Amino acid sequence: MARRGADILVETLAAAGIRRIFSLSGNQIMPVYDACLDAGIEIVHTRHENACVFMAEAWAQLTGEVGVALVTAAPGFANAAGAVYSARCSESPVLLLSGDSPLDQDGCGAFQELDQCAVAAPLVKATARPASTAALAEAVMTALQTAASGRPGPVHLALAADVLTAPAEGLVTAPGGASAGTPPTDDALDDLRDRLAAAERPAILTGPALNRTRAGALLRDLEDATGAAVLPLESPRGLKDPALGDLATALREADLIVSLGKQIDFTLAFGAEDRVAPGCPFVVVDAEQAALDRASRNLGARLALALDADPRATAHALTRDRLRDTREAWRHRVAEATAARAARPGGPGITPDLLCDAVQRRISAAPASVTICDGGEFGQWAQALTWADARVINGPSGAIGGGLPQAVAAALARPDATVFALMGDGTAGFHLPEFETAVRAGARFVAVIGNDRVWNAEHQIQLRDYGPDRLIGCDLSGARYDLAAAALGAHGEYVTRPEELDAALDRALASGGPACVNVELEGLPAPAGPGH
């Protein structure tokens, strides 16, 4: 068969080291499927386009590679858009490839014609529609580099059907990697070092791209070199993140806050002086001018220094010299605050803390582990009370529903790890059919569903803001998600009493494949630090 545009596309991906993509088939992208056979790229074939992107996002976070999602034209592309927004907020390097109507039918009312680039533009770092086979390789190389460089994030390419099927010639060369990023100038770096050295209680805040899973060793080196408390923030609950305990109280004591890519936004109460370190100056380091402008707008005179530089490169530069003593007392104070948890609720049934403790015992016993913690109230319990070698959460977007697809990707990315995905019953309903994907793909994980029969985050809002006599639209049934998962080929467990929990979790782990543990749960509000 003569080479086509689709072959150029796939060969470029293969030359970049891409060996697995997440996709749902459709008319316009079948040439890409065909080309993957010759290039040796595996297609993990999902049940919904949104799941493709969630899988690509988790793959990117856990491997350090660009995750690739491939979907069909307009409706498929639109189905993927929600997860693209989530990937953007979580700073995950993802390449979304979408089929598109033919170039030569533009404006004629082609099947599934849509200006995808216009729709994608607010959601991604960059979007393009290559107009020829000659432009495909360069477009893919540029997209991969853009996704991984600076503040990582999703990039979109619309693939016109006639470009994919057109004859193609030429050699594909290996794409270059992501740019290393530009550190501050020497003078600016000296200024930053001096400020850190002079401070008694400095805190360095990082965003999702520099969280513990994706930059753990670098963060430890940064703490040792600067003596600062280094705090990754990646939750939509920000300073009220249950996983960070009483951070808000400790942060009020800081006398210097350095942001390395952590946006000064709603998660930091917009930097409001009555909420975040009164009188404390900020240094903001960011590679995006929009983020620097936002910091200036929100902080005003408290923005002591704004540096247009790459946060990761800046972190590496700061680790080269020890700036002063380790400030053990200050770091211990912050560590105690972030470890603080409110009193456990107790109760006759299965409470969220009891369930999380049972899961954590198995995570702690595993040689390697990953947790996937979705959003919602039970997701917040999971984020606060479980920890593993690596973690993927719903991120600053606050989106829910990604847990099951992310668990599939996590199991494929780290096949030797014990993978637990913890989610509420609301979340579970988004992508329950992906259990069938997991069975086909050979993905081994345990999905624990905290089934409190309610959209509990919104239920708690109604209770707090409107009262118990104004509850509407948040009830769920006691659906047997375990039976549905079993019907899709997974292992299912149903738990109604505390004494059943340990054995059910052990059977799920021993099943050797995807498993669903459906737990009847007390519907309690998310935990909060003692200062909240």
* CATH code for the domain in which residue 131 is found: 3.40.50.970
Q: 151: helix, coil or strand?
A: coil
Sign, Cα dihedral of 408, 409, 413, 417: negative
Same domain flag for 372 and 285: no
Q: Which of 333, 320, 130, 134 is nearest to 229 (CA)?
A: 333
Separation between Cα atoms, residue 9 and residue 306, nearest integer Å: 40
Residues ≥6 apart with Cβ < 8 Å to 6: 31, 32, 34, 35, 164, 165
Structural domain that includes position 277 = 186-339
Q: Do residues 322 and 357 both lie within one domain?
A: no
Distance from chain centroid for Cα 112: 30
Q: Please give the pLDDT value at position 181.
A: 80
Asked if residue 423 and residue 301 are part of one domain, the reply reads no
Domain contains 323: yes
The residue to which tokens 């990082």 are assigned: 206
What pLDDT score does 347 carry? Answer: 73
Q: What per-residue confidence (pLDDT) applies to 324?
A: 65
Q: Give a yes or no: residue 176 inside a domain.
A: no
pLDDT of 326 reads 75
In a domain, 173, yes or no: no
Strand partners, 205: 231, 259
Strands (E), 155-249: 155-160, 202-206, 229-232
Q: Which residues pair with 97 in a beta bridge?
A: 70, 157
**Same domain membership, residue 500 and residue 357:** yes
Span 318-343, pLDDT tens digits: 998 877 677 889 999 999 999 988 77
Query: Do the domain assignments include residue 178?
Result: no
For residue 395, tell me if it sits in a domain. yes
| 516 in the same domain as 435 | yes
Is there a single domain that holds both residue 14 and residue 39? yes
467 within some domain: yes
Could you count the other beta carbons within 10 Å of the beta carbon of residue 89?
A: 21
pTM for the full model? 0.95
Classified as helix, coil or strand, 267 is: helix
* 525 assigned to some structural domain: no
Q: For residues 288 and 140, give the distance between their C-alpha atoms in angstroms, rounded to a whole number.
A: 22
Q: What are the CA-CA distances from residue 39 to residues 11, 16, 60, 168, 250 (Å)?
A: 6, 12, 21, 16, 53
Is the same domain home to 10 and 141?
A: yes
Q: Distance between CA 59 and CA 400 in Å, rounded? A: 17
- Interatomic CA distance for residues 411 and 222, integer angstroms: 30
* Spatial separation of the C-alpha atoms in residues 318 and 372, rounded to whole Å: 31
Structurally, how many domains does the chain consist of? 3
What pLDDT was estimated at residue 531?
Answer: 53
What does the H/E/C string look like for 427-457?
HHCCCCCHHHHHHHHCCCEEEEEEECCECHH
508 belongs to a structural domain: yes
Whether residues 327 and 358 share a domain: the answer is no
452/306 same-domain check: no
Q: Pick the last residue of a domain from 291, 316, 339.
A: 339
* Contacts by 295-304, CB closer than 8 A, 24 or more apart: 295/259, 295/263, 295/264, 295/271, 298/264, 298/265, 298/270, 298/271, 299/264, 299/271, 302/271, 302/273, 304/195
The segments of the chain whose pLDDT lies below 70 read 1, 171, 174-179, 324, 529-532
- Same domain, residue pair 322 and 356: no
- The pLDDT, as a whole number, for residue 315 is 96
Are residues 250 and 371 both part of a single domain?
no
End-of-domain residue from the set 134, 165, 196: 165
Place of tokens 């909240």: 532
Last residue of a domain, one of 306, 339, 372: 339
pLDDT (tens digit per residue) in 165-217: 999 877 677 666 666 788 899 999 999 999 999 999 999 999 999 999 999 89
Give the sign of the dihedral formed by CA 49, CA 395, CA 267, CA 198. negative
For residues 385 and 279, state if they share a domain. Answer: no
